[in-house]
A and B are shown apart, each in its own frame.
Chain A
Amino acid sequence: MSNFDGELLSAYLDDELSAEERAQLEQRLQIDPRLQGELAELREIIALVQQMPLLKAPRNYTLSPADFQTPRRVYPFRAILAAAAVVVLVTGAVLFMLSGQENAADTAQEAPADIAAAPTQTALLSATQTDNLSVTAVNQATQLAVIPSSLPSATMSATLSPMPTQTLDAQREVVTTATQETFTFAAPAVGEADNAAGTGMMPMSTPTADSFAVQSAGAVSQSQEVATAMPTQLDLKATTVIATEVAAYAESAVVPEEELDAESVEEAANEVAEMLPPGAVADSALSDSDLFSNILGAIKNFFTALFDSLNRIFP
């Protein structure tokens, strides 16, 4: 057997030939009995090598735990670091809660103004875009509904110091009244806008639109005064409830009945529902005590996990 044939036959048995090489070799094997014999010999050699018996190891190669087990050593500075970490975490948590209450007061002063201003914008838009009244009103109302989701600290603060129910009712009444006034002012502007569209005049240049803007500003101011008087009492629940009511009022008050059809109202309502922050309505259904319990539970779980970890590190 030549070296070349030996390599070919060996690679053939190892399935390492290309398709072309394999085809050529198989053609030769069919007509060359000597090549067939050499192939059989190589096949037998491989089988004998593979059947070489397992040998008994002269000893066990097990490792000694003393040589490889990592000793558990307690480092004093680690204990100090862990204690310091606990102090920092607890202090941070307390400061966070306190600052959350202060932030709630700050944001509560701003949020009612936004709530009052939004219907005003709705009214202004309604004066110029009478064709899209329902959609515009719904979008503005939806913005109101989204506002509370940006006020987590206000929510936490309100949850830690539950707000009296009468405060929510009073707040709802004031903001709803302001919204109603705004839309009442907007109604004449809508008529003026229709006229302006017919004559080609800009609606904001009409005296009715100007007076509407002035009176809307008064409504906004009134809302701000109320908000200032109750700086710490706006929470996610209150804002969400109010925003939902404003949305409902915007649909009923701004859009003339003859321009509404069942389909557009349903679409608008769906749009509002989709744009509300997930869980906002559900949150409003939770009692204050439930929310308080949840927060306490989360804090308890945090410290339990922390102490478990410390126990594992420093048994």
Chain B
Amino acid sequence: MVLQEQIHIRKAKQGDVEAFNLLVLTYQDYIYSTAYRILGDPALADDMAQEAFVTAFKKLSQFQDGSFKAWITRITINACYDELRRRKRRPTDSIDDDDYDIEANPKLISKTDNPENYAQSMELRSAIEECFRQLSEEHRVVVVMSDVEEYSYEEIASVVKISLGTVKSRISRARLRLRDCLKSKGELLPAVYRQDNVS
């Protein structure tokens, strides 16, 4: 798998678009998911995912060794963060509006065969997604980078261009808000939250 990926990368570096497209097909769900987590908007995440792959192909000569997945994820996060900053300068484009359409939610890839478990996981998923979406943009970015991509605080500070202390406080506040949000939906959550909600 890794060897095959290296062959695709080498061919893509020589301008082989078809070889690059094999990489796209491998990572497009992951890249879209990352963009969606950060932006909270399906249409915008779609745009950013496409932009990330185009940028990756154009800058592929800069990719040396290491994980292609980590490299293209970094491009995606940068693209999303740049978009958020651009929208911050133009508040009318804000995506944190109230007309969030639950039906437009992206489709879940992994499903369980057990209908009961599936229903529970769907409820839990909806709760987490909703709580995550209620976070501010700046909190979503740091939580995705820290908890999903497992970046260090120093790496996050470098990408988001904030101090280490700010990174630390943003991550902490984001997690506490998620916790409070999930507690408010106690019936849907694991035992630890239901018990806490009851007491």
Contacts and interface: CB of A to CB of B under 8 A. Distances in A.
Nearest to B108: A53
Contacts of B31: 57, 61
Contacts of A52: 37, 125, 128-129, 132, 148
Interface stretch (A9-17, A173-181, A186-194, A272-280): A9-17
30 contacts: A3-B169, A11-B153, A14-B153, A42-B175, A45-B179, A45-B182, A48-B124, A49-B128, A52-B132, A52-B148, A53-B110, A54-B30, A54-B33, A54-B108, A55-B29, A55-B106, A55-B107, A56-B29, A56-B32, A56-B108, A56-B109, A58-B32, A60-B24, A61-B24, A61-B31, A61-B49, A62-B25, A63-B17, A63-B24, A69-B17
B164 to A, nearest CB: 9
B111 to A, nearest CB: 9
A61 B46 CA distance: 9
Chain B binding surface SS class: helix
Given A6-B173, A56-B107, A58-B46, A41 B32 contact: no
Contact of B36 (A41, A55, A65): A55
A70 B179 CA distance: 51
Contacts of A63: 17, 20-21, 24, 53-54, 57
A70 B109 contact: no
Given A11-B168, A44-B192, A49-B178, A16 B106 contact: no
Contact of B57 (A10, A11, A68): A68
A312 interface: no
A54 B132 contact: no
A80 to B, nearest CB: 26
Given A55-B32, A55-B33, A63-B24, A49 B132 contact: yes
Nearest to A50: B147
Interface residues of B, number: 52
A46 interface: yes
Nearest to B51: A61
A40 interface: yes
Interface residues of A, number: 35
Interface in A26-42: 40-42
A64 B53 CA distance: 12
A246 B32 CA distance: 82
B17 A61 contact: no
B146 interface: yes
Contacts of A56: 29, 32, 106-109
A68 B59 CA distance: 13
Nearest to B33: A55
A59 interface: yes
> Considering residues A3, A46, A64, which has the most beta carbons from chain B within 10 angstroms of its beta carbon?
A46
A7 interface: yes
Contact of A65 (B18, B143, B175): B18
